[in-house]
């Protein structure tokens, strides 16, 4: 893909009129259109948000489905990714007045719940979030019945990963500073 193709792809993506309820992302030069998640997907997002809201040591602002503009690998246009949940310290008021596709500066953690394309969440998005320097990436993997917390981003990968099977606690480090209870993820 050359620079002209990359610019055309980005323009096509930004001009998409995505039907209500669908989510469009531009990920490593590919336009992905996803249907809404099922009830279990929504339950897991809600459970995570509720625990962060009540247990986090730092007050967090949360956005479900907030568009992030992230650097892409050459020669692709910038990635336009929509995490299931994005968290930032409340004091930053990061989401207030933000454009539809915002830069990730100040984001403390993104979370994904696997759905129709689990390898996009497990691999491609993980690399995008690491490349963007997002400190924490939480993956709730429904097929594997486990939660993975990726931290310490370096280039296109996270250098640390902590795993917990559904039902086991998983420590979410500062600025959150609490143990995620995954019993209700089952």
Q: Are strands 67-70 and 101-102 parallel, antiparallel or unpaired?
A: parallel
Q: Which two tokens stand for residue 180?
A: 């995620």
pLDDT digits (tens, 9 = 90+) for 92-132: 999 999 999 999 999 999 999 998 889 999 999 999 999 99
Using a cut of 0.85, tell me whether the model's pTM lies above it: yes
Distance CA 42, CA 28 (A): 26
**Local structure of 10: helix, strand or coil:** helix
Distance CA 161, CA 137 (A): 9
Q: How would CATH label the architecture of 37-185?
A: Alpha-Beta Complex (3.90)
Give 53-113 as a 3 state SS string.
HHHCCCCEEEEECCEEEECCCCCCCCEEECCCEEEEEHHHCCCCCCCCEECCCCCCEEEEE
pLDDT value of residue 1 = 72
Closest residue by Cα to residue 142 from 161, 160, 162, 166: 166
Half-sphere exposure at residue 3, Cβ-oriented, CA atoms within 13 angstroms: 0
Cβ contact 27:120 at 8 Å: yes
Closest residue by Cα to residue 69 from 101, 25, 98, 94: 101
Name the average pLDDT for the chain.
94
Work out the average pLDDT over 131-135: 96
Residue whose structure tokens are 């917990």: 164
pLDDT value of residue 36 = 86
Q: Which two tokens stand for residue 183?
A: 């019993």
Alpha-carbon torsion (67, 68, 69, 72), positive or negative: negative
- Please, which pLDDT band fits residue 85 given cuts at 50, 70 and 90? very high
pLDDT digits (tens, 9 = 90+) for 137-149: 999 999 999 999 9
pLDDT digits (tens, 9 = 90+) for 7-36: 899 999 999 999 988 999 999 999 999 998
């Amino acid at each position: 893909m050359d620079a002209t193709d990359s610019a055309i792809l980005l323009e096509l993506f930004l001009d998409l009129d995505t039907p209500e309820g669908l989510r469009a992302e531009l990920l490593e030069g590919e336009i992905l259109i996803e249907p809404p998640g099922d009830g279990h997907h929504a339950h897991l997002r809600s459970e995570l948000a509720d625990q962060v809201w009540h247990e986090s040591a730092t007050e967090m602002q949360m956005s479900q489905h907030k568009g992030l503009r992230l650097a892409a690998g050459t020669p692709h246009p910038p990635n336009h990714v929509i995490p299931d949940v994005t968290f930032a310290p409340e004091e930053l008021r990061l989401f207030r007045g933000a454009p539809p596709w915002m830069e990730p500066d100040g984001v403390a953690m993104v979370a994904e719940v696997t759905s129709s394309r689990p390898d996009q969440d497990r691999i491609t998005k993980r690399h995008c979030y690491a490349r963007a320097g997002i400190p924490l990436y939480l993956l709730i993997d429904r097929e594997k019945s486990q939660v993975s917390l990726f931290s310490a981003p370096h280039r296109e990968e996270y250098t640390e990963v902590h795993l917990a099977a559904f039902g086991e606690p998983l420590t979410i480090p500062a600025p959150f500073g609490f143990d995620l209870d995954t019993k209700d993820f089952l």
